[in-house]
Amino acid sequence: MILANQINSIGLTQTCTSAGGRLSESINIPYLTPYQIKYAGLLLKTASSTSYDSGASATYGVAVPCGGSDRPEGWAYTTTTVNSNLPGATQSFYPLDADLTGGSSEYAEDEADFTPVTCCPLAPGEVVAFPLAASQTIAKGDLIAVADSGLVRKGNSVSSVWILGKAMFDVTSTSTVSTSTVKFVPVWVDVYYKSS
């Protein structure tokens, strides 16, 4: 096996050739995303670049937030925050031109504006703090499931949702989710499965 590693600001990029068998353990993979990633721990899946920009130069995978019935492929290692040294500056996120006003889309529609994000695979036995959907009351030991927009919710007695693991602490979220009100639930990730 030949491995070529490159470590950069968004994670480990690895190119490999092999005659078969295991290529690597869990690796954080950098993807481009058309969405503003506002919470570390946000659940992600991959989609085709041309689904977000029909004129994309080639079809490649982009990271997008999971929907409530989607199987997550990983979680966002960090946000896409725009750094500002100005005191009292408002928090902004890349891509800057994402339409978040409820207009035609909530993502950047031009491939040139896509921004990098690191996607960490879900690995059984790790503990990850996932952002919690609105109006959720979680008790220690509750099952945690995928919710819309890459968030999580209580998964007890809910059918046809992806169960990620169990909550490690009690957490109650507010009636809205924003960068100032979001709550995170630490989850012991299990071998995740779809509830029946």
Any alpha helices (H) in the chain, and if so which ranges? Answer: none
d(CA 20, CA 16): 11
What pLDDT, in 10s, does the model give residues 155-186? 998 888 899 999 999 999 999 998 889 999 99
pLDDT at 13: 55
What pLDDT, in 10s, does the model give residues 14-49? 555 555 665 555 678 899 999 999 999 999 999 999
The pLDDT-based confidence of 120 (bands split at 50, 70, 90) is: very high
Q: Which residue has the tokens 């600001």?
A: 9
3-state helix, strand, coil in the chain (%, to 5): 5, 40, 55
Q: CB under 8 Å to 60, separation ≥6 — which residues? A: 32, 48, 49
